[in-house]
Structure 1
Amino acid sequence: MIELRPLTAADAEAHCAGEDKHTVRWLTGGYGDVKGTIEFFNWLAGNAAAGAGKRGFGIWKSEGGAGAVPTVPARLCGYIDYTPDLDDGLDPDDVALAYAVHPWARGQGIAPEAVRLICDVLRTDKTGTRAAIRVEPENSASIRVAQKAGFRYVRDFPSNRDTHPDGTPTTFSLYLLDL
């Protein structure tokens, strides 16, 4: 079973332990440390309390026993966030999603399910009219997540804020889902 929960300071160590070269390459740009991660989680909590800006959640996986009762405590297996005010390649009512799954949990359908769950949150909260996944065309795993979650490819575009190490603009493929 997969569920989303707001992240707390107690989750920072497990979150950092789940980072690897793929997380750094496609999402964060660098490895986090526990202190900085706690500050980031506190910032996300402040945004949630204010009802504005980026909101982030831990992706938690529990193993079901008989009757879908978990047999072991849920384990942090990734991260997902949404940003309702990102304008890089998006229309004003699009909500950008970003996610990462820890290496031990990849290939289990966790990311598409987390994307579906975050879209449910957006619908419930009436945040935006479309969910958007911006993915570099070389990130085939994230493209598969978008497709499995029902998003449709729209176009490629050069970013007006993200760049490669050599300074050239990052090109993103845009995938959208009506909410």
Structure 2
Amino acid sequence: MTIELRPLTAADAQAHCAGEDELTVRWLTGGYGTVEGTIEFFEWLAGNADARVGKRGFGIWKSGRLCGYIDYNPDLDDGLDPDDVALAYAVHPWARGHGVAVEAVQLVCDVLRAEELGTRAAIRVEPENSASVRVAQKAGFSYLRDFPSNRDTQPDGTPTTFSLYLLDL
């Protein structure tokens, strides 16, 4: 299987929003996006990419069709060391279970190496998110520890517990 990563544009917002489902909302976004809000988010990511700062994101494309999203954030410090770069991703339901997320994570790690950004890639995942745990393991990341978040909370207000998986870059 071959996938590619491309910066997202306003033209991709509708397909991106259509790919969201309750698992995406549960594990990544916390709510369904609107096309307008998604366009603003994509423009913000493009500005970050142009300035070479902050979070940068990509669409994941398979056979010419948008099938997910992945980003990296060198500024996230919740549970991470200063030179760790956090990764986050979601795959549309129709493309799940085919190794798309694993390949996308590996491609983003290649970008981080080429840009010499950070010393380790980090995946923070709630332990109950077994699909994302498998992605981290299949992409060659090693489990380091569990930790309570200092910024994310459960619906009842308690801190979210994350498992931390790392890969040397």
The secondary structure found in structure 2 opposite 1:128 is: coil
Deviations 1:50-77 (A, max 9, x none): 1100000000001xxxxxxxxxxx0000
Q: What amino acid is the match of 1:33?
A: T
Larger radius of gyration: 1
Percent identity, aligned pairs only, is 85
Question: How many residues are treated as equivalent by the alignment?
Answer: 168
TM-score with structure 2 length normalisation?
A: 0.99
* Unaligned residue ranges in structure 1 (runs of 5+): 63-73
SS in 1 for 2:17: helix
2-side partners of 1:89 and 1:111: how far apart? 22
- The match for 1:167 is 157
**1:49-68 matched pairs, under 5 angstroms:** 49-62=50-63
1:143 aligns with 2:133: yes
The equivalent residue for 1:126 is 116
Q: How much does 1:165 deviate?
A: 1.0
- Name the SS for the 2:128 alignment partner: coil
User: What does residue 16 of structure 2 align with?
Assistant: 15
**Structure 1 equivalent of residue 106 of structure 2:** 116
* TM-score of the aligned structures, taking structure 1 as reference length: 0.93
Q: Distance in 2 between matches of 1:121 and 1:50?
A: 16
| RMSD of equivalent CA atoms | 0.3
Corresponding residue for residue 75 of structure 2: 85
Match of residue 2 from structure 1: 3
Q: Which runs of 4+ in 1 moved over 4 A?
A: none
CA deviation after TM superposition for structure 1 residue 159, in Å: 0.2
Instruction: Say which SS state the counterpart of residue 172 (structure 1) adopts.
Output: strand
* Partner deviation per Cα, 1:65-97 (whole Å, 9 max, x = no partner): xxxxxxxxx000000000001110000000000
Unaligned runs of 5+ in 2: none
Aligned equivalents of 1:109, 1:43: Cα separation in 2 = 28
